[in-house]
Structure 1
Amino acid sequence: MPKIAENVFLAPGVKIIGEVEIGNNSSIWYNSVIRGDVNYIRIGELTNIQDNSVLHVTGKNPLIVGNKVTVGHSVVLHGCTIMDLTLIGIGGIVLDRAVVEEKSMVAAGAVVKPGFVVPSGKLAAGIPAKIIRDLTYDEMIEFENSAVRYKNYAAEALNLENGKL
């Protein structure tokens, strides 16, 4: 049974099943699917899972998504670990046992192969993903800004759905 904090925004069309936990001030956007059916999924606080993303697990590989994470549109996260203050670009795929360490980024369209580690402060891009460069200080600061922006977007979307704007 999912455990979802009271102040989580769930957009219409979201499907969540199984052993899923979602932390405070997070947002799950339109038509995303979160399947904790064969293992658990933990999503931290102030994390946003954008439209059409798929989060799933295997019997041996749970999925852990940290705090203040931005998961772009149409991302697939499968049995991996995404640490705090990271960004997974639009259409990115992160596969079983891969780890995206704190303050790192997976570029749009990248495929992070099973077991690969994206070290802290690095940008991974390509198919398969490779470490391309160090992130700048400004890029890493943007991870927190993105988390806060999406909290605000969720409040605006909720107001729109309730006819308040």
Structure 2
Amino acid sequence: MALIQTVKGKTPQWGERCFLAENATLAGDITMGDDCSVWFGAVVRADVDAVVVGNRVNIQDCACIHQTAGAPVVLEDDVSIGHGAVVHACTVRRGALIGMNAVVLDKADIGEQAIIAAGAVVLAGSQVGPREIWAGVPARKVKTAPEGQALEYAEHYMYIKEWYREP
């Protein structure tokens, strides 16, 4: 079972059919929906504000989710957070994908089904539109994604998390 840490009287809560890897860490004011997965080495830390996670969200290996006072993290339904990504005090809308080793900074807003490319750095306060693909350092819009492209990753993780939930 993952490390589940109560902080300042707040204990992480999660829904049904979730997979929490045995070396994942969840600490503080976290609310997570159904069918989520938090993979090996990932850290979700909500010690000064909340982390709110919808349904069918996957937080992949070594990702870090953290907030800051007055700026919670909100991950809406069907979001994928790639391996090694850092998601800090921002909102990621339904069906978006944050690529491997990408960084999303404070008060950024990532639109529905948007894709943040691997290694990109989305600056604080950036507004990423629906289905936009952003890449680079600092990240900028490079094109528009086809409908449903980002959702493929969330669907894939719904499938593979069951391999780990089986006895």
TM (normalized to structure 2)? 0.91
Aligned CA RMSD, in angstroms, stands at 1.0
For 1:101, give the aligned amino acid: G
- Count of paired positions: 157
Partner residue in 2 for 1:23: 33
Q: SS in structure 2 opposite 1:120?
A: coil
Partner SS state of residue 154, structure 2 = helix
Q: Which position in structure 2 is the counterpart of 1:40?
A: 50
Contact 1:80–1:99 (CA under 8 A) maintained in structure 2: yes
Which runs of no fewer than 5 residues in structure 1 stay unpaired?
A: none
**1:157 CA displacement:** 1.8
After TM superposition, what 4+ stretches of structure 1 lie above 3 angstroms from structure 2?
Answer: none
Q: Which residue does 1:98 correspond to in 2? A: 108
AA at the equivalent of 1:35 = R
Superposed displacement of residue 149, structure 1: 1.6
Match of 1:148 among 155, 160, 164: 155
**Cα separation, 1, equivalents of 2:50 and 2:162:** 27
Does 2:64 match 1:54? yes
Q: Does 1:118 align with 2:125?
A: no
For structure 2, the 5+ residue unaligned runs are 1-10
Q: Partners of 1:142 and 1:105 in 2: how far apart?
A: 9
Deviation sequence 1:41-61 (CA, Å, 0-9, x none): 001101100000000010121
Distance 2:130 2:153 in 1: 18
Helix, strand or coil at the partner of 1:132: strand
The structure in which a higher percent of residues are helix is 1
